[in-house]
């Protein structure tokens, strides 16, 4: 067993390898991991990252390799959701400038359920090639959504790096276009499985390679991956413009992009398989990635170690320790706000309804990082200075 692999569950058809202690995984996520391990087309083992928590069909923070099938719900509804980071040449930023930059970002980047009032330039949209029926159906709507943050745990954060530079980090996905593609093909998969006499339980309906829908979903998923990148890139351009307006001499470098909801054909253990990463980041040897904490804790820029046992993957963040509803009910608003204020962070908690994104609703990012030292090397630590939340 690797130094950070805390347990292997061997009671199912395939082993489940955990990068956290078994008692640290919530019952719902563990049950979902067991379901994955019993799929007839699952390959080798299931890998569960230290940030794992219950998802829809498959745990967030899980890696599933399959042979001959693709599972829409093992990618999830926010196809291509991920992170991007950009380094500025600034070594510090004063609070007045920081507040002005955040104000400009809020004025130019819609958040939550908001979208642009006018369609954005189609040059930002990925090119449509081949058959993409759902993408074509949603394309015009997507022109209003490219360059928007979305809701939930999505964020724009300005950070102080341990390398001495100010960084910008953005977490967002494919907005409604990805959601629509995901739901459409999950419904198609359920109908196909039922027609074949297979009752696929646990929200894990699949598309077999023999079906035309296998390639269709793969193509539409890949388009959504490109759209999610375009979405983050346009937001980053607007964030850069905000910086430049306040600090005209600023320069930018080292753009990094990493999705953490996708499926890809890759070679592992000598076989070509389809690796589904749901809330998990690819971490090949030397490959750069991002692992954010909460809006009150550090984030990390990392390089992968190419660990075979995790299918060359790592965690995608801190991971939730309580549901959104639990956080709003249990956390103390004054305490959460005071902790952020004491650290000098321009935060995004205004009322009790924002507590689902308070630091107290997330796992300890330091423990998450300790549990995966065999998967990644930390290159730069990033302290939050200001946060815009969805």
How does residue 325 score in pLDDT terms, banded at 50, 70 and 90? confident
More confident residue, 34 or 355: 34
Report yes or no on 339 lying in a domain. Answer: no
CB-CB contact of 308 with 268 (8 Å): yes
- Catalytic residue, chosen from 45, 184, 316, 347, is 316
Report yes or no on 82 lying in a domain. Answer: yes
More confident residue, 3 or 85: 85
The answer, yes or no, to whether residue 199 has pLDDT greater than 90, is no
Backbone region of residue 349 per phi and psi (left: phi > 0; alpha: psi in -120 to 50; beta: other values): beta
Average pLDDT, the chain: 94
CB-CB contact of 358 with 308 (8 Å): no
Q: What is the pTM of this model?
A: 0.94
CB-CB contact of 154 with 261 (8 Å): no
* DSSP conformation letters of 61-119: EEEEEESSEE-GGGT-SSTT-EEEEEEES-S---HHHHHHHHHHHHHHS--TT---SSP
The answer, yes or no, to whether residue 69 has pLDDT greater than 90, is yes
CB-CB contact of 313 with 44 (8 Å): no
Q: State the Cα–Cα distance between residues 278 and 259, nearest whole angstrom.
A: 10
Q: Of the ranges 123-127, 201-205, 362-366, which one carries the lowest mean pLDDT score?
A: 201-205
User: 260-282, pLDDT tens digit by residue?
Assistant: 999 999 999 999 999 999 999 99
Report yes or no on 328 lying in a domain. Answer: no
For this structure, is 116 an active site residue?
no
Total count of domains within the chain: 1
Q: What is the CATH number of the domain that holds 273?
A: 3.90.1860.10
Among candidates 290, 301, 275, 317, which has minimal Cα distance to 60?
317
User: 175-185, pLDDT tens digit by residue?
Assistant: 999 999 999 99
Percent of the chain with pLDDT over 70: 98
The answer, yes or no, to whether residue 121 has pLDDT greater than 70, is yes
Q: What is the pLDDT of residue 3?
A: 62
DSSP bridge partners of 170:
84, 156
Strands 7-9 and 16-18: antiparallel
Q: Which residue is it, tokens 């009150």?
A: 296
User: 5-56, pLDDT tens digit by residue?
Assistant: 678 999 999 999 999 998 899 999 999 999 999 999 999 999 999 999 999 9
Report yes or no on 238 lying in a domain. Answer: yes
Q: What is the pLDDT of residue 382?
A: 97
CB-CB contact of 240 with 89 (8 Å): no
Q: What is the pLDDT of residue 294?
A: 87
Which range of residues forms the domain containing residue 98?
7-321+362-389
User: 232-246, pLDDT tens digit by residue?
Assistant: 999 999 999 999 999
CB-CB contact of 34 with 58 (8 Å): no
User: 378-388, pLDDT tens digit by residue?
Assistant: 999 999 999 99
Q: What is the pLDDT of residue 2?
A: 61
Report yes or no on 26 lying in a domain. Answer: yes
Stretch 335-357: mean pLDDT, rounded? 84
Report yes or no on 201 lying in a domain. Answer: yes
Using DSSP, state whether 384 is helix, strand or coil: strand
Using DSSP, state whether 145 is helix, strand or coil: helix
**H runs (alpha helix) in the chain:** 27-37, 95-108, 133-145, 175-195, 212-246, 324-330, 333-342, 365-370
Distances (CA, A) of 75 to 2, 108, 216, 299: 27, 30, 15, 24
Report yes or no on 353 lying in a domain. Answer: no
Stretch 347-353: mean pLDDT, rounded? 83
Among candidates 9, 69, 76, which has minimal Cα distance to 40?
69
Backbone angles phi, psi at 323, to 5 degrees: -70, 165
Q: State the Cα–Cα distance between residues 59 and 112, nearest whole angstrom.
A: 24
Stretch 81-98: mean pLDDT, rounded? 97
The answer, yes or no, to whether residue 284 has pLDDT greater than 90, is yes
Report yes or no on 181 lying in a domain. Answer: yes
């Amino acid at each position: 067993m690797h130094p950070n692999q805390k347990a292997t569950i061997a009671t199912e058809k395939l082993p489940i390898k955990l990068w956290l202690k078994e008692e640290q995984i919530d019952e719902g996520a563990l049950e979902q991991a067991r379901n994955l391990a019993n799929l007839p087309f699952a390959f080798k083992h299931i890998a569960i990252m230290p940030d794992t928590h219950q998802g829809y069909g498959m745990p967030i923070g899980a890696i599933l390799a399959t042979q001959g099938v693709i599972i829409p719900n093992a990618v999830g509804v926010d196809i291509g959701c991920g992170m991007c980071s950009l380094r500025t040449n600034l070594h510090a930023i004063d609070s007045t400038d920081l507040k002005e930059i955040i104000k400009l970002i809020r004025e130019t980047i819609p958040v939550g359920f908001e979208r642009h009032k006018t369609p954005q330039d189609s040059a930002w949209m990925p090119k449509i090639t081949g058959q993409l029926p759902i993408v074509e159906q949603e394309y015009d709507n997507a022109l209003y959504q490219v360059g928007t943050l979305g809701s939930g745990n999505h964020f724009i954060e300005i950070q102080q790096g341990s390398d001495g530079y100010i960084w910008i980090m953005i977490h967002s996905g494919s907005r409604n276009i990805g959601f629509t593609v995901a739901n459409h093909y999950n419904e198609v998969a359920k109908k196909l499985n039922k027609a074949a006499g297979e009752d696929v339980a646990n929200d894990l309906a699949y598309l077999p390679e023999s079906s035309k829908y296998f390639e269709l979903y793969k193509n539409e998923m890949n388009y959504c991956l490109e759209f999610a990148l375009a979405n983050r890139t346009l937001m980053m351009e607007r964030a850069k413009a905000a910086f430049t307006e306040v600090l005209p001499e600023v320069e930018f470098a080292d753009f990094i992009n990493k999705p953490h909801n996708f499926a890809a054909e890759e070679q592992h253990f000598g076989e070509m398989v389809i690796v589904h990463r749901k809330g998990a980041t690819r971490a090949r040897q030397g490959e750069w990635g991002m692992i954010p904490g909460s809006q009150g804790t550090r984030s990390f820029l990392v390089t992968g170690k190419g660990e075979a046992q995790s299918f060359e993957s790592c965690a995608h963040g801190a991971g939730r320790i309580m549901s959104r509803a639990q956080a709003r009910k249990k956390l103390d608003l004054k305490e959460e706000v005071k902790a952020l204020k004491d650290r000098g962070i321009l935060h995004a908690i205004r009322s009790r309804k924002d507590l689902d994104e308070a630091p107290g609703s997330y796992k300890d990012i330091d423990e998450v990082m300790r549990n995966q030292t065999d998967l990644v090397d930390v290159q730069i630590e990033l302290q939050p200075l200001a946060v815009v939340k969805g």
